[in-house]
């Protein structure tokens, strides 16, 4: 079976400044993502430039979609071959649309 490519799109970026001020040590470049940015996962591999921490959150869905899985959680998404997943950063969560695509749709 040939695996599908999976497109990962940055859909929303939040920032909880009150939590950052109260709990986080100052860091530079906490998130390098930009709204609307797109990545293509080929063979269920992490795309170049994609955040390692965010990959931990989206990779199970990327793997499943690349192997033709669909309809996660019994009809959660309008497009059965997609998922909306947020990274695990409690200070700056990023929401990603993860969707299987045809190889010629890159």
Question: Residue 68 sits in which domain range?
Answer: 5-105
Q: pLDDT per residue over 20-63, tens digit each?
A: 999 999 888 788 899 999 999 999 999 999 999 999 999 999 99
Ordered strands of the 94-101 beta sheet:
38-41, 5-13, 94-101, 82-86
Could you report the per-residue pLDDT of 73-97, keeping only the tens digit for each?
Answer: 888 999 999 999 999 999 999 999 9
DSSP per-residue string spanning 19-36: HHHHHPPP-S-S----TT
Cα–Cα distance between 89 and 5 in angstroms, integer?
A: 25
> pTM of this prediction?
0.92
Domain count, the chain: 1
């Amino acid at each position: 079976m040939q695996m599908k490519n999976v497109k990962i799109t940055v859909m929303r970026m939040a920032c909880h400044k009150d939590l950052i001020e109260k709990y986080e040590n100052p860091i530079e470049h906490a998130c390098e993502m930009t709204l609307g940015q797109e990545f293509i996962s080929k063979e269920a591999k992490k795309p170049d430039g994609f955040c390692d921490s965010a990959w931990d959150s989206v990779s199970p869905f990327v793997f499943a979609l690349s192997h033709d899985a669909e309809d996660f959680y019994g009809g959660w998404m309008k497009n059965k071959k997609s998922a909306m997943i947020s990274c695990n950063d409690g200070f700056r969560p990023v929401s990603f649309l993860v969707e299987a695509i045809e190889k010629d749709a890159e």
